[in-house]
Chains A and B, each alone.
Chain A
Amino acid sequence: KAGVTQTPRYLIKTRGQQVTLSCSPISGHRSVSWYQQTPGQGLQFLFEYFSETQRNKGNFPGRFSGRQFSNSRSEMNVSTLELGDSALYLCASSPISGSAGELFFGEGSRLTVL
């Protein structure tokens, strides 16, 4: 069974640009969540989607958005990039929300904002 796939793995943007990151969950998993990982803040929850609906949202500005498609694939978008948005963005999937404490993570998309 293929794992969680995130694309692109690395990208460099400049301030003010926007970026779209993609996540393909494990087949059959309907819950997809996104986390931002930085050295100073650790893993911070962005949002969670289940059956194309955003069910939960973390404490991030409106520049961060996402969506989920009918095949459970998910995208997140960050507009008007700031230097502080440089981070590893991790996508995680699970069969249902909070499935016995286990999330399956992708290897992440490392975003550098110059």
Chain B
Amino acid sequence: GQSLEQPSEVTAVEGAIVQINCTYQTSGFYGLSWYQQHDGGAPTFLSYNGLDGLEETGRFSSFLSRSDSYGYLLLQELQMKDSASYFCAVDNYGQNFVFGPGTRLSVLP
């Protein structure tokens, strides 16, 4: 089976950089995705790592290391609108996505 772990909460100030970690125990997967969900909203896709290494998309970057069973989402130049829940998810060989429990990010002024 697949299981993922994330910190439940992270707090940072506007303009700062924050890293949200995701560790996993899986039997294998295609890649690691990250989603953002604002309260009352739909999860929206942020980033995907099919291969080990760093992927950069604007202020957001994501990293994957399969050898360490570890990934992270890096958010730079934090803005108030980044306050949301962030989920990592593994693509279980196209069968389904297994999501982590989510990390609630609070950005303070």
Contact = CB atoms under 8 A, between A and B. Distances in A.
Given A42-B102, A55-B95, A101 B48 contact: yes
A101 B41 CA distance: 20
Interface residues of B, number: 26
Interface residues of A, number: 24
B33 A45 contact: no
B97 A45 contact: yes
A26 interface: no
Contacts, number: 64
Contacts of A101: 30-33, 45, 48-50, 89, 91
Main secondary structure of the interface of A (DSSP, over half): strand
B91 A42 contact: no
A42 B97 CA distance: 12
A100 B98 CA distance: 14
Nearest to A44: B99
Interface of A: 4, 33, 35, 42-45, 48, 55-56, 58, 90, 92, 97-98, 100-108
